[in-house]
Structure 1
Amino acid sequence: MKRLLLIGMGPGHPDYLTIQAIDAMKSVDVFFFLEKDGEGKDELIRIRREILERFLPERSYRVVTAPSPPREAEPGRYRDGVLDWYRRKAEIIAGLINDELADGESGAFLIWGDPTLYDGTLTIVRQILDEGLADFDYQVIPGITSLQLLAAKHRIPMNRIGEPIEVTTARRLAQTAPESIQNTFVMLDSNMTFEGLADSELTLYWGAYLGTDGEMLAAGPLKQIAGELAERARRAKADRGWLMDVYLLRKEQGGR
């Protein structure tokens, strides 16, 4: 039977791969890369190739690339748009498995961060199997997440005694009352939604391009840093053609 591995590669730097991930890579016959359109997006492919060159210098493997379909953003149809995007990606991935993997071979996707957090590949793989688009077995290899790296870079704990942790999206943050936030991690906020909370008493711990060249970090009271940081992030996005950020909004204890 064909086998597919979803390997968490951590947030961008080869040092963040686990030993389990490296061992799994050594068993792979074909690595699949989905290329995204847009200025600067080839950097994401380059980083994956550098990881393969570092950890598999003497091993024979193939790399197969395919275009990743763009996500159509229509106002008021967010969920439908994502489901349609997943369907189109499922057709592409199923085609790769059917056409590029022989029986008994292993294919793999190198997933940024961890395959189970804020990535749709695992959902798409299950959809392919449920709909009978391809026949294969699969395994998930966990990876270090950007949340862990963000906390480590800022030297703060992710959790505090007796308090919850929330992981959310920028779209949902825009609908959240600041007074309800205790420890909220926000994934991928290219529109700098945190600016809308700049009048709150929250502290922001922010990072972008974590683990890559040009890593950016910032921290401080949101009302003091929101405006300048948003402009800095917009310049970085314009210069590189993409922005991959994550941040923690936290209500400090004891008035800190």
Structure 2
Amino acid sequence: MREFSETYLERTRKGMWDDTRAALEPLDLESHERVLDVGCGTGELSRVLAAECPGEVIGCDADPDLLEIAGEHVPVVAGDALRLPFPDDTFDLVVCQALLINLPEPAAAIEEFARVSSDLVAAVEPDNGAVEVDSSVPTEESLEARARRAYLDGIATDVSLGADAREAFTEAGLRVLETRRYDHERTIEPPYGEMALTIAQRKATGAGLADDRETMLEGEMDDEEYDDLRSNWRSMGRDVIEQMEARSYRRTEAIPFFVTVGRVE
């Protein structure tokens, strides 16, 4: 399973659920007393669950560094998603966010979630193949689409799982109750924060793309194609910085997430 840094999780989850929590309504959060957030990371979703649930919310993750941060907001326990350190029926709701997309067998995780839940299991999974980007830099949208296709082609797990998580629920023996879509939008505009400036610098140096080089080359992209992409990527990054200096750079990214809820039979 891929590992994620605190910075990555902050960048990709910042502001999620701040605009609306309507897609979480099928979880019936106000009626649950014991909730487990599996693969909680830094606790971004855990905090939302704790704000909505009258009972206790516990975060669980295999990364102790991320758990230390999550533990500032909710009780946490170290554990593997496929071997949760809890007896059967410990919780009445088990939730994960952007976890199944990183697992080779999502149904195995859902089956383990169902073991420790007496009622509901829910998964909030993105469709990373349907990300939409709108940028004031003309080349950014097409280059990001090209890089995304190469990355998706090279990665071993289904990071475009999205609404197809329903199949994992059914395979694990749960009855799917509902799937709702939530579009998470991330916007960069003046005044630019430190995170936005860091992202721009990583584009201009090609550092961000370099992180994914190995994965991209696992697919159909070859070294020559990657080098061409990286050259154009760095040029695009310099255009981003130039627009930032003129305070004219604007970028919006929309990532569709799908909230699937199933009942333990």
Q: Give the shorter-chain TM-score range.
A: 0.3 to 0.5
Q: Which has the higher contact order (CA 8 A, sep 6+)?
A: 1
Q: TM-score, with normalisation over the residues of structure 2?
A: 0.37
Q: Which structure shows the bigger proportion of residues in helix conformation?
A: 2
Q: TM-score, with normalisation over the residues of structure 1?
A: 0.38
